[in-house]
Amino acid sequence: MADPIAIVHEDDSCIVVYKPAGLLVHRTRLDAGENDALVQRLREQLGYFVYPVHRLDKPTAGLTLLAKSPDAAATYSMAFRDGLVEKHYLAIVRGWVQGVGVVDYPLLPEVIGRTRRKPVVHQDAVSHFSALEHFELPVPVGRYQSARFSLIDLRPLTGRRHQLRRHMAHLRHPIIGDTRHGDGVQNRHFEDRWGVRRLMLVAVSLGLPEAGNRPKLDLKVEPDPHFCEILAGIRSGMPNLD
């Protein structure tokens, strides 16, 4: 039996939980063989219906907001669409990310499992990044004599599919464990050395201003124990170069 979903916040209109890595938010045709999903688990755990407001990718862990009624879902969805929600993520990426910056790089819509019939139109996509820590492993990985990694803060200003993953790949700093947009050599190294079989991306902060019947939210969490264990292993096995 699966472990209960960790509840971070609950009020009359919504519930915010910590979604585990590898769990769908809701069932989808794009992953038709997967029946396990956050919405179904929560409905069984809580004994009432909840309604997804936004979506974290299946491999991404972290804070996820669900509404308690269709009206509340519409209100929260509008806040996400209007850019009123501030989200922060932690990620471990390949290479040394320097300082603070903005990725303003339009993305093509990702279409999986069916033929694209509409004209291709790039969508605006903007993400902020900030380097937090640098690490180096003194062993060769791929064509390099040492392996460099960064722990970074990411903040998406738009909500495109796989936006953070695609933006970091565009910067040539793909997120570790990203099997679609990442670096297979680095992913295999992490799996061999640290036992990592997950995307090293976690939503750790969710902020939303009060408006009408919608309460203010200012939530922050530590990453899940597995993410923290991997990060601790990296810190102990690699000298911190800051």
- Which sequence positions are flagged as catalytic? 57
d(CA 23, CA 158): 23
Q: Are 216 and 85 in contact (CB under 8 A)?
A: no
Residue with tokens 């806040």: 79
The helix (run of H) or strand (run of E) holding residue 136 is: strand 126-137
Q: SS3 of 3, please? A: coil
Count of Cβ atoms closer than 10 Å to residue 38 Cβ = 23
* Pairing outcome for strands 126-137 and 100-104: antiparallel
SS3 109: coil
